[in-house]
Chain A
Amino acid sequence: MTSQTTRSANPTVSRVRLERRLEQPRWLQIMSPIILLGVALLFGAVLLRMVGANPWAVYSRMAGLAFGDAYGWSDTTLKATPLILAGLGVSLAFRMRLWNIGAEGQLFIGAWFATGVALHLLPETTPQPLMLLVMAVAGFVGGALWGGIPGVLKARLNVNEIITSLMLNYVAIFWNNYFIYGPWSQRGFGLSPQFPRTAWLPRFTDYAEQFPFLRGITAHFGIFLALILAIVLWWVLRQTKWGFEIRVLGDNPQAANYAGINIVRNTVLIMMLSGGLAGLAGMSEVAGVVHRLQERFSPGYGFTAIIVAWLAKLNPLAIVLVSYLFAGLLVGGDAIQPAGIAQMLQGVILFVMVGGEMLLQYRVRFGQV
């Protein structure tokens, strides 16, 4: 990495070097996200000023929309749910250094499986808990199968999983489109019929009769699934032998091989689990929010999950936190129009945070050659 050098005006005298820190100081590890967020917001403020907006008004309105009241939290939770689920899936694969960037496709296939159960496999009269359970299992299995394809190809034939998982995203989306315009279509439009009520994930607002303060809180119970899975995953990775194996596999496959850890089996298994979690995100979206399969029901959650997982440094509990921040950023984006400005702002904040994280791993050295 020392190849990242730049020459100053006088090449013979000095050069500026970027050097990787061997160890990040503890304070930097804790403070870095806060510092970076500050820098990002400052940078965004300059941009807002340039287009003629009042940065303070925009920021306070964004924060208000996302976290200002119970409705804001509800909206943010709604968006955080798929991000947490897909983020957990992505982080699991990343931990083993398997670059699964196919979460979006796995999410679509999960949704497709769940839709198949709700509309075609089980009758409308199925009790709600059973219906939802089967849908969740189907969503997980669907995502797992889709994630398993690059997994098997990687494990058996050493095919690059970045390419295969990325390409399968498009296959999944077209697969989905075929069904919603064809066999599962309602009137040839890009959507399936609505699910029966038994296939709807309960929303908080559904309990407004008993608990009036829940009225208008449209977040659904998928968030519980997401939180429970985050904790389970955190525990598994931290406390179990298998969790340790995955980390060793990621850090040093050769050592893992010597230690008798089965690489082939774990590669396939991890990719399937990773895909399954993304598939659950798809199931929770169609059952909790859209209540039918439709075109573009995911505005790229599977891709966003990759950034979430990375900013959270692959820690399952941090993924919950980062997903909420991220969801808040997306929800707050409605605070300002045209939408291009909000998107630019989101981009700037993300880019500074991701890029800054990298720079903080290095230190700048001035000195003679």
Chain B
Amino acid sequence: MGKPPIFRLFSLLLIFTLLFTACAPAAAPAADGGAPAEEAAAEGDSAEAAPPPATGGEASAPDDGAVQIPEIEEGKFNVAFVYVGPVGDGGWTYAHNEGREYVETEMGDEVHTAYLESVPEGADAERVIRNLARNGFNAIFTTSFGYMDPTETVAEEFPDTYFVHVSGFKSNGANFGNLFGAMESMKYLVGMIAGARAAADGSNRVGYVAPFPIAEVIRHANAAALGMRQTCPDCQLDIRWIFTWFDPDLERQAAESLIEAGASVVVTGADTPGPVQVAGEKGVYGVGYDSRNACDVDPEHCLTTPYWNWGPIYAQIISSMMDGSYVGGDQYFDVDSGGLGLLGFMDGQEPMAGVPEEVIPQVQELLSQMQAGEFTRFDVFTGPINNNKGEEVVPAGESLTQSDLEGIDADLGATLGRDGCTFCMSWLAEGIVPDAEIPQ
């Protein structure tokens, strides 16, 4: 006897229920890729990295234990964070949550923080942000590119609440600002380390896993190529575009392909430590990007990891909000802010075993210049710079502007109140293999 169609329908439906249930959390890590912001994580102990129902939650949560009901605490400056992924993603969101915990630890007497994780970037974002504002939070940080419009909309409706959007390009000169950092400075140092390693290996070839052909990614790859040429003038940077921020399989495949093409160091610009793992399996070296945990998958074959350290940045912004001096604009911090880190080279860290001895003092020297504010992203991108076809892009003595770094065209520049780019970020720097192109 055949199964009645009704049974088949129920089975199908139950599967979909499961899919709906199971997919919700699973989709979240993928979602953080949507931000053209880098996925990186801050330094910190892994005590808080446990998956959601773990113990170390909110000290001041109205509910006991690990769970939190995002509500304000009377008498404190209340700050809410909206995350695109789960706090346990070990990457982008993890880094932001570390920053929030830093604020809670450092300023806990005066500041109360709450967060909402895994908030989709579409219709839900505006609703969530508006609810937080309506419930009386004094400041709201939204930490994914896709939150830009919703944040702007709600910021208009709540002029007495502060809004900070991470990784976008909008602000209103009052209660709404954007925030991002010069990861390219760290990528320059990464390039120096990778170049030294490739030279020592005799391969003279470094690989780069590039997520999307957007200004930010191109800027980081170019910085890595320029840094690489500092320590290995004969080296070439091979590149693979994977068109995703988060896809473990694609990231691994890209790394494999780079290694097959002769690279002895693979630098990843995407979310997972997969490329580092692949490098280890093939007996070559990798550079992570998400978190310093990225090196934990294979410390022996991992050279370093550039990471975000949001805590001090958040603390400084929140302080300025509390004393009323915050003005929402374009805030773009460099290494001297303390908001960026390079695993193995910060205070109290030791370089990983694979980093060639001779490059260590060079990197340390330049890093301390960066920390002192003497060497910035504009120094990284100072001419003469040729493109990967050997044509001059930036003449000697000229530096890129912020609009160049971000590839802001004239139209958008006009709406942002700044000049458009002249050199822009639509070229690949010398050092990247000559036949590489920016995909259209």
Contacts and interface: CB of A to CB of B under 8 A. Distances in A.
Given A189-B145, A340-B52, A97 B20 contact: no
A32 interface: no
A52 B116 contact: no
Given A71-B134, A337-B115, A339-B86, A294 B146 contact: yes
B121 interface: yes
Contacts, number: 192
Given A1-B3, A350-B20, A331 B115 contact: no
Interface stretch (A8-16, A128-136, A299-307, A316-324): A299-307
Contacts of A181: 212, 243
Contacts of B325: none
Contacts of B127: 75, 78, 218, 331
A299 B53 contact: no
A333 to B, nearest CB: 9
Nearest to A339: B118
A296 B66 contact: no
Interface in B362-391: none
Interface residues of B, number: 72
A307 B4 CA distance: 20
Interface in B188-226: 212-215
Contact of A295 (B70, B114, B121, B412): B121
Nearest to B62: A57
A101 B17 CA distance: 13
A363 to B, nearest CB: 15
Contacts of B157: 216
A344 B121 CA distance: 20
Nearest to B16: A306
A167 B87 CA distance: 31
Contacts of B88: 338
B218 to A, nearest CB: 9
Contacts of A351: 14, 17-18, 21
Contact of B67 (A53, A79, A285): A53
Interface in B129-164: 130-131, 134, 145-146, 149, 157
A294 B121 contact: yes
A343 interface: yes
B122 A285 contact: yes
B20 A218 contact: no
A79 B53 contact: no
B91 to A, nearest CB: 16
A281 B212 CA distance: 29
B32 to A, nearest CB: 11
A334 B70 contact: yes
Contacts of B338: none
A65 B64 contact: no
Nearest to B114: A337
B346 interface: no
Given A187-B407, A340-B51, A101 B16 contact: yes
B68 A337 contact: yes
Contacts of B51: 340
Given A53-B63, A334-B131, A358-B14, A340 B25 contact: yes
17 contacts: A52-B63, A52-B67, A58-B63, A79-B124, A289-B126, A296-B122, A296-B146, A297-B122, A303-B19, A306-B16, A307-B13, A307-B16, A310-B9, A331-B127, A336-B68, A337-B116, A340-B52
Given A187-B409, A289-B122, A350-B20, 5 more contacts: A289-B126, A337-B117, A351-B14, A351-B18, A354-B13
Interface of A: 1, 48, 51-54, 57-58, 61, 65, 71, 75, 78-79, 94, 97, 99, 101, 162, 181-182, 187-191, 194, 216, 218, 285, 289-292, 294-300, 303-304, 306-307, 310, 331, 334-341, 343-344, 346-347, 350-351, 354-355, 358, 361
Interface of B: 3-7, 9-10, 12-14, 16-25, 27-28, 31, 34, 36, 51-53, 57, 62-70, 86-88, 114-124, 126-128, 130-131, 134, 145-146, 149, 157, 212-215, 243, 407-409, 412, 440
